[in-house]
Structure 1
Amino acid sequence: MGVSRDKQLQVLQLLKVVVGDGGDEMFPFGYETMKRRWEILNKIFSMSTRFSLQAIKPEYCNYFKKVRDFTPSYAWVKCEREEDKNCYEIFREAKITGRGGKMYGSEESFVRLSLIKSQDEFDQLIDMLKKFISQEVLGADSI
């Protein structure tokens, strides 16, 4: 499956505007946005014993020329319970969109969540995750 010609032209126009303005703020904006998203995710998953979020260490950034928090576009979540064999299905039942770890050569005990979304879509994901994790904290088995 490819990207439509129309979408490619839209992206090209957008990139021309960004570059025309110098583009200096694009990378700091992207970094700060992703850093905030990771902080929110870490806070949510820190309340859970059922799920764990990948550990991320700061790394040297060639663009900014310094060590910074690593802020990937995807979050890998592991289902920690022995009985939660297919993490993708657990999240799907909770109406949280992700991709199964097996699709990427990992185990079924992982699900990959995309953080590259509009702010509204990300806020929706966070609301769903909060509800899902709070059920664990409050003692409900699953959705």
Structure 2
Amino acid sequence: MGVSRDTQLRALQPLKAILQGNGKEIFQFAYKTMRDGGDQLSQIISLSTRFTIEEIPPQFCNFFQHVRGPSPVYAWVKYERKEDSNCTEVLSRAKTTGRRGSVFGSNDRYVQLSLIRRQDGFDFLIQRFTDLVSEENRAESM
């Protein structure tokens, strides 16, 4: 049993990036990809009154030797409405999954979302939150 051609081609892209320079390009690519995903999710959630997302301040990066903004692999989302205290259930009704806050010693108003996904999975997550926020805005305007 071998490795599929599709998998080989996917693995080739980061290897080419590593071989092109001094190796920092792959870390720059990863940083930019994760930062952009986190920014995109934060931007959508900022339009909501039901959900908030953890704000992460810029910090000094030992690898690049300067202050950089966050590039999160997880996002902590909080459900703000008092009538429903379980964010996981709210998101599961919208066909979105995350890990309950209680797994991490918090309460279930919080959900940890993984941002490390294939692009189509991440696009699906963004679309689900866009739909949730749009639905919320329609309900508030009635």
Same fold (TM over 0.5): yes
Output the amino acid matched with 1:90. Answer: V
2:129 is matched with: 129
How far apart are 1:39 and its partner, in Å?
1.5
What code does the residue aligned with 1:115 have? Answer: L
Amino acid at match of 1:85: S
List structure 1 segments (4+ residues) > 6 angstroms apart after TM superposition.
none
RMSD: 2.3
Instruction: Report 1:46-85 matches (<5 A).
Output: 46-85=46-85
Provide the residue aligned with 1:3 in structure 2: none
Percent of matched pairs sharing the same residue: 44
What do the CA deviations read for 1:64-100 (whole angstroms, capped 9, x no partner)?
Answer: 1111101220000001111121111110111011111
Matched residue count: 129
Q: Which residue of 2 aligns with 1:139?
A: 139
Contact map agreement 1:98 1:112 (CA 8 A) in 2: yes
- Segments of structure 2 that go 5 or more residues without pairing to the other structure are 1-6
Checking the alignment, whether the CA contact within 8 Å between 1:18 and 1:26 is kept in structure 2 is no
What is the CA–CA distance in structure 2 between the aligned matches of 1:44 and 1:67, rounded to whole Å?
25
- In 2, the alpha carbon distance for the partners of 1:23 and 1:117 equals 23
Unaligned runs of 5+ in 1: 1-9
TM-score (ref. length: structure 2):
0.82
